[in-house]
C-alpha cells in the first residue's frame, strides 16, 4: 500500500461451489447480452481445486451449443501450495475459444516461460491459440487467443513471448491474411494506463507496459473508446474496493492494418471475475 501497509488476502480458492456456479453463470449471461460472433476466454477451469472442480468449459459450451469451440490447456499443476492457509491445490485451466463460424483449424502454440523454481509452476504451459477462418476472397481471417505470463518482474518473459507472437502475426499478414489477436496481455496497455485509475495500492511489480511502438509496424493496438472510465483488471491481493485496489487495462486486441476495429470495455464491476471483458467490433478491409 502507499501508506506502507502490506495488502493481506485471505483465500486461494473460491468461497464455495455455489459461488463458482454463480460467477460462471454471471459470465455466461454477460456474454449472452453481447450476442458475440466469437468469444475468447482465458484462465477458465476444467477441474481445479480453486473452483471446486466445476467444469466451467463444459458449462459455457453447453450454453452456446451452436458455436464451434476449441480448448487449449495453459495451466496444469498437480498441486500448487500457495497461499499456505488456503492453497490453490490442483489446477486444470486454459483458453477457450468459441465461434459461430466453423474453424478451418485451431493450433496451440507454446510460449517461452521462466525456468525459475517458482515461476515454472506458476507459468506452466503458457500458450496462445491460432484459429483460421476462410474468407470469400481466398484469404484467411486468423484469430489468436492469447494469455501472456504474469508475475514476471521486469517483463523479461513477456518480452520473449511478444517476440514470438509478433513473428506469427507478421507471417500471416505477409501472406495477405487478416489478423486479430485478443486476450490478457498481462501488460498495462499504454504507459498512461499504469497510473490512470485511482488506487491506494502500490503498482504491482509484475506490471510492465505494452504500447504501440512495441508492435510490428503493420499492427495497431485498439484502445477501447471508454478506456479512461472502465478498467479491465484489478489486483487480487485483497478484497475488492474500487478506491483501494490497483486497477489497469491489460485486456484487449491488436489487429493488422487491413482490419478496421473499435473496442469497448464492458463494466461488470468485477462481480464475476478479477477481469472485465472487452468487446471488439471489426470489418475486414
- For residue 61, give the H/E element and its range: helix 56-63
| Residue 268, pLDDT score | 98
Question: Using an 8 Å Cβ cutoff, are 127 and 43 in contact?
Answer: no
- For residue 220, give the H/E element and its range: strand 219-222
Which 3 state secondary structure label does DSSP give 17? helix
Percentage helix, strand, coil for the chain under 3-state DSSP, each rounded to 5: 20, 35, 45
| Residue 159, pLDDT score | 87
Mean pLDDT of the chain: 93
Q: pLDDT tens digit string along 262-274?
A: 999 999 999 999 9
| Residue 206, pLDDT score | 81
| Residue 110, pLDDT score | 96
| Residue 153, pLDDT score | 67
In Å, the largest CA–CA distance within the chain is: 59
| Residue 80, pLDDT score | 77
Cα 110 to Cα 234: distance, rounded to the nearest angstrom: 26
Q: pLDDT tens digit string along 150-175?
A: 877 666 788 899 999 999 999 999 99
Q: pLDDT tens digit string along 208-220?
A: 899 999 999 999 9
For residue 178, pLDDT over 80 is answered with yes
* Helices and strands (H and E) in the chain: how many: 4, 15
Question: Using an 8 Å Cβ cutoff, are 38 and 77 in contact?
Answer: no
Cα 132 to Cα 171: distance, rounded to the nearest angstrom: 14
For residue 74, pLDDT over 80 is answered with yes
Q: Sign of the CA dihedral 275, 159, 220, 282?
A: negative
| Residue 119, pLDDT score | 60
Say how many C-beta atoms besides its own lie within 10 A of residue 118's C-beta: 10
**157 to each of 43, 152, 153, 236, 247, how far by Cα in Å?**
19, 7, 9, 22, 22
| Residue 45, pLDDT score | 98
For residue 254, pLDDT over 80 is answered with yes
Cis ω for the linkage preceding 83 (within 30 of 0): yes
| Residue 42, pLDDT score | 98
Find out if CATH 2.40.50.180 is the number for domain 17-284. no
Contacts of 203 (CB under 8 A, 6+ apart): 194, 195, 246
Question: Where are the domains positioned within the chain?
Answer: 17-284
| Residue 3, pLDDT score | 59
Question: Using an 8 Å Cβ cutoff, are 203 and 237 in contact?
Answer: no
pLDDT band of 72, cuts 50, 70, 90: very high
Cα 246 to Cα 20: distance, rounded to the nearest angstrom: 24
For residue 10, pLDDT over 80 is answered with no
| pTM score, whole prediction | 0.94
In 3D space, the residue among 173, 168, 172 whose CA is nearest the CA of residue 258 turns out to be 173
Question: Using an 8 Å Cβ cutoff, are 229 and 240 in contact?
Answer: no
Q: pLDDT tens digit string along 123-151?
A: 568 899 999 999 999 999 999 999 998 87
Contacts of 141 (CB under 8 A, 6+ apart): 132, 133, 134, 135, 177, 178, 180, 284
Amino acid at each position: 500500500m502507499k501508506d506502507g501497509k502490506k495488502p493481506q488476502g485471505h483465500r486461494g480458492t473460491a468461497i464455495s461451489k455455489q459461488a463458482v456456479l454463480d460467477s460462471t453463470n454471471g459470465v455466461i449471461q454477460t456474454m449472452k447480452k453481447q450476442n458475440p460472433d466469437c468469444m475468447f476466454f482465458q484462465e477458465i477451469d476444467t477441474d481445479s481445486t480453486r473452483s471446486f472442480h466445476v467444469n466451467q468449459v463444459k458449462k459455457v459450451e453447453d450454453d452456446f451449443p451452436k458455436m464451434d469451440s476449441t480448448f487449449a490447456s495453459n495451466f496444469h499443476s498437480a498441486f500448487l501450495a500457495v497461499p499456505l492457509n488456503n492453497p490453490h491445490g490442483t489446477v486444470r485451466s486454459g483458453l477457450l475459444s468459441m465461434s459461430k463460424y466453423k474453424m478451418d483449424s485451431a493450433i496451440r502454440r507454446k510460449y517461452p516461460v521462466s525456468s525459475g523454481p517458482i515461476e515454472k509452476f506458476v507459468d506452466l504451459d503458457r500458450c496462445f491459440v491460432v484459429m483460421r477462418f476462410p474468407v470469400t476472397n481466398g484469404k484467411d481471417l486468423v484469430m489468436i487467443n492469447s494469455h501472456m505470463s504474469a508475475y514476471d518482474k521486469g517483463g523479461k518473459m513477456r518480452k520473449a513471448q511478444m517476440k514470438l507472437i509478433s513473428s506469427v502475426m507478421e507471417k500471416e499478414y505477409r501472406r495477405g491474411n487478416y489478423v486479430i489477436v485478443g486476450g490478457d496481455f498481462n501488460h498495462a496497455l499504454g504507459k498512461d494506463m499504469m497510473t490512470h485509475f485511482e488506487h491506494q495500492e502500490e503498482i504491482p511489480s509484475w506490471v510492465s507496459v505494452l504500447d504501440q511502438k512495441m508492435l510490428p509496424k503493420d499492427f495497431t493496438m485498439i484502445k477501447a473508446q471508454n478506456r479512461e472510465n472502465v478498467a479491465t483488471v484489478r489486483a487480487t491481493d485483497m478484497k475488492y474496493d474500487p478506491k483501494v485496489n490497483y486497477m489497469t487495462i491489460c485486456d484487449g486486441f491488436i489487429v493488422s492494418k487491413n482490419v478496421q476495429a473499435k473496442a469497448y470495455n464492458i463494466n461488470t464491476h468485477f462481480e464475476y471475475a478479477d477481469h472485465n471483458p472487452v468487446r471488439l467490433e471489426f470489418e475486414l478491409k
